[in-house]
Structure 1
Amino acid sequence: MKAVYQAIILLGLFKLLSSIELTTINNTICVDCSKDKQVKCIIEDTGFECFNEHSMKVINGKSLKPKPPSTENLDVCIPKDLKILCIDESNFLKVIVWSPKLGCQIVHREYPNRDTCFTASLICPCVETQKGSGKAKVTYSLLLIVTLYLINLCNLR
């Protein structure tokens, strides 16, 4: 009788373990950029852009910035009503996802040189860049360079 109880318990555990999905689709992870203060931007639309292994050159080397937090829970990066089919493709590398609620996020295969949130923010359609973000600094730097160039042209005449 003891063996029957053990068999029932083992079958119950087997069913429980086999129903849990142990890996994500295509071994993907969500890089949560929602708390990265350097690259936040205001987004009004929801969308995504997919990249495969052939569309991007993966750059080898160590990142100077610490890696943002990541999770296997793709709901952190993908809005519930958004279907992204490219994640299922065999040559899938990454997808940049944006929405007003979640901001600019990255979902990609786990590989050593994973992208930073700044990379994602260059692709996301920011309506207005928040003060203190990297994009605002680049804009002001470009304005300064153009102004100095024009002053230099005026001085040459």
Structure 2
Amino acid sequence: MSKYRSHLENTLQQTLSERAQTRVVHSSDVFKINADVSYAEFLDVVKQTGVETILFVNLRSFWHTYTLSTDTNFLDKPETNTLLHSYLIDTQTLEPSWYAQSVVNGVYAYYETLNNTFARQLYRNLRRDKYILVPAEFRYKSSYSYQQD
């Protein structure tokens, strides 16, 4: 399995499970990578997992942005950027129930930064559109704590 896909699956699980207690099933846990699967077999496996929706992420575009340093007249390290399309597919109707487009501007750290940023964007979009609910104990946490004497 590619490092990128593995990292993306783990990052999405960590972000969605820890922040919203959403159950995530990795596609790599139920399907072999690059193996042919009939549509009927696909539907059967999805049904067996008990998931309500399928998150489909399409890496639409990938590019680098270069900036010229004014101090040294050299190109700085490139920024890696991606355009991703995300869909939630309802497993009962097999129709898309939600869509989001994400543009992620990273740094030269490559896919780890892109995946982490994308996972946070996806989480915020799903939460905003009420596709995931956040437990009360996560809603009111603050880095500032008030102590009474």
State which structure, 1 or 2, has the greater radius of gyration over its C-alpha atoms.
1
User: What TM-score, normalized to structure 1?
Assistant: 0.28
User: What TM-score, normalized to structure 2?
Assistant: 0.29
